[in-house]
Chains A and B, each alone.
Chain A
Amino acid sequence: MKKKKNIKRILISERLILDSGKTLPEYEIAYETYGKLNKTKSNAILICHALTGDQFCTLKNPINNKKGWWNSLVGPGKVIDTNFFFVICSNVLGGCMGTTGPESINPETKKPYGLGFPVITINDMVKVQYRLVDALNIKKLFAVIGGSMGGMQALEWATSFGHKVHSVIPIASSYRHSAQNIAFHEIGRQAIMADPDWNKGAYYHKKKYPKRGLSVARMIAHITYLSESALQRKFGRNLQNSKFFSFEFETEFQIESYLKHQGFSFVERFDANSYLYITKAMDYFDLSVKKGGLRKALRDKNLSYCFITFSSDWLFPTSETKTIIQSINQYNTKVSFAEIKTDKGHDAFLLHEPNFHSTLKSFITGQKKRFKI
């Protein structure tokens, strides 16, 4: 893992009471902002990242020198125009890009938390974001937007802090993690925990960390982000280096090579324990079990929603989003929704998908008029 110096963070010297009942004595939030906050502080957009994302949603990520994960969408003149909006993006609680997580030093023991870090929820992540928005002195966000787990956070904002937001934009997301999604996460976690280098989460002081387990977890997860037809289109049954089978167990098919590359490059940038904690937080997410169900959770009539899904996304299928919309429809007309036709699967929200971008841009343009900013 590369060191994370010079990351912008704030320390919140307050106890954080978590959904589990446990507490963190204090916590740091690593974040990045783009664009300028206007005089009335009405142009702030909070972007929530997905499972393995970070606060560097655009421009160059200083850790890996690559472009930010939503560079195609966020930036000057882009769909989320940083010439106009003040964009905030923070690393989630439990993450490994500077916000307090399992690799952070526990102020009480002066050692990395490891498995001593309490199990967290999406709601806990959002409480921390709320604290950041507060620290930045923003009374009301123009929008909270996020894909996948970022969409879960956006919905949690609608539920817990609806009065602090104008519009909520969950993309390729759901009100809950389905049984199938939990199943895939559990395989990933088991792969990490089966790696001898994991050492029950206490590997920060060692030379080795659970690279193999984490890369297998990533390989499994990566399949769920794509679609069968996209895999077939991109890789087919093509072999990597030869026209003939080798009759050995080395990497042979292009798809094998691709997945291995995904796995190996991932372990360079992500902490295995963070992966355990964040996947667990997603698995626990279910807005419908709150008292009064989804309808009550999303009852704030003043909120304006835009849901976007992708037709080939089988991880967060459109039917999940439709369930949310049905619940909101009864009380609130301000719900917009589009399903973008694509074969790119769940990952489409991160890719160049012109129809997705045009719908999002249209919604943002309309909301700017609606809220007169």
Chain B
Amino acid sequence: MTKILRNDLQIISNLIEENEKVLDVGCGNGNLIEFLSKEKNVDCKGIEIELEKMNFCLKKGLSVVQGDANYDLNDFSDNSFSTVILSQTIQATIFPERVIKNLIRIGKRAIISFPNFGFWKIRKDFIFSGKMPKNKILPYEWFDTPNIHLCSVNDFIQLCHKNRIKIKDKVLLNENGEKIQSINLFENLISYQVIFCVSKK
């Protein structure tokens, strides 16, 4: 039995075809790439900044390079992967714009998931408490958070337009990690997490 993936990772894995070549940037303990290589015969590679997590991946026989999404994506050549995944990490990068450009350079497409800072409860919390919002996936205090570039669904779409990045697909998730039907006008209010699939124009 393969371990059940975190909800958003399960949805990402559904977006991956069999026999693809996938780079997972910030692969953590390698759950997603392990799943993809076993279940979909995907040729996988991970990038992970923390040595302990990387070692965890190595023990499973996965191929992982130690690296930082901000600086080390230059080691990969253009179109060398069919899909590049960046899950729950873009908000923690120093140069999100550079990172996104690199992702679609390396991969024919990129799948990027992040917590939506435009979610209505976050807005409500901020209005009523006047303090930086926290929730299950954003549990940190403002002064020690790795999430230095939080953005909303609308912010992300705007950045894509600015850089002429094509949005191929978009999956919105509620607080339980379940897919929600897109209500265009309110998507930025109702989604807790979001998964974008983007590519070069």
Per the bound structure, the CA–CA distance linking A359 and B48 in Å amounts to 13
Contact of B60 among A335, A340, A366 (CB under 8 A): A366
Q: Tell me whether A335 and B45 are in contact in the complex, defined as CB-CB below 8 angstroms, given that A326-B77, A366-B59 are known contacts.
A: yes
**B61 close to A333 (CB less than 8 A):** no
Task: Tell me whether B180 is interfacial, beta carbon within 8 Å.
Answer: no
Among residues 314 to 373 in chain A, which have CB atoms less than 8 Å away from a CB atom of chain B?
A: 322, 325-326, 329-330, 333-340, 355, 358-359, 362-363, 365-367, 369-370
Task: Tell me whether A104 is interfacial, beta carbon within 8 Å.
Answer: no
A-B pairs with beta carbons under 8 A, tally = 64
Task: Tell me whether A304 is interfacial, beta carbon within 8 Å.
Answer: yes
A residues within 8 A CB of B59? 362, 365-366
Closest to B75 in A: A326
Q: What is the size, in residues, of chain A's interface with B at 8 Å between Cβ atoms?
A: 25
Task: Tell me whether B44 is interfacial, beta carbon within 8 Å.
Answer: yes
B residues within 8 A CB of A306? 58
Contact of A336 among B43, B65, B80 (CB under 8 A): B65
**B61 close to A370 (CB less than 8 A):** yes
Per the bound structure, the CA–CA distance linking A340 and B56 in Å amounts to 16
Task: Give 26 A-B contacts (CB < 8 Å), ordered by A residue.
Answer: A330-B77, A333-B43, A333-B44, A333-B45, A333-B63, A334-B45, A335-B63, A336-B54, A336-B64, A337-B66, A337-B67, A338-B54, A355-B51, A358-B55, A359-B51, A359-B54, A359-B55, A359-B58, A362-B58, A362-B59, A365-B58, A366-B57, A366-B59, A366-B60, A366-B62, A369-B60
Task: Tell me whether B76 is interfacial, beta carbon within 8 Å.
Answer: yes
Per the bound structure, the CA–CA distance linking A340 and B58 in Å amounts to 15
B residues within 8 A CB of A369? 60-61
The SS class assigned to the A binding surface is helix
Per the bound structure, the CA–CA distance linking A304 and B60 in Å amounts to 14
Q: A335-B45, A366-B57 are in contact. List 5 more A-B contacts (CB 8 A).
A: A335-B65, A337-B65, A340-B51, A359-B58, A367-B61
Task: Tell me whether B21 is interfacial, beta carbon within 8 Å.
Answer: yes
Among residues 123 to 160 in chain B, which have CB atoms less than 8 Å away from a CB atom of chain A?
A: none
B residues within 8 A CB of A304? 63
Per the bound structure, the CA–CA distance linking A10 and B57 in Å amounts to 41
B residues within 8 A CB of A337? 65-67
Q: Mark B66-107, 1 if CB is under 8 A from A, else 0.
A: 110000000111001000000000000000000000000000
**A366 close to B58 (CB less than 8 A):** yes
Per the bound structure, the CA–CA distance linking A366 and B81 in Å amounts to 23
Among residues 21 to 71 in chain B, which have CB atoms less than 8 Å away from a CB atom of chain A?
A: 21, 23, 43-45, 51, 54-67
B residues within 8 A CB of A339? 66
A residues within 8 A CB of B65? 325, 335-338
Chain A CB within 10 Å, residue with most, of B21, B45, B66, B67: B66
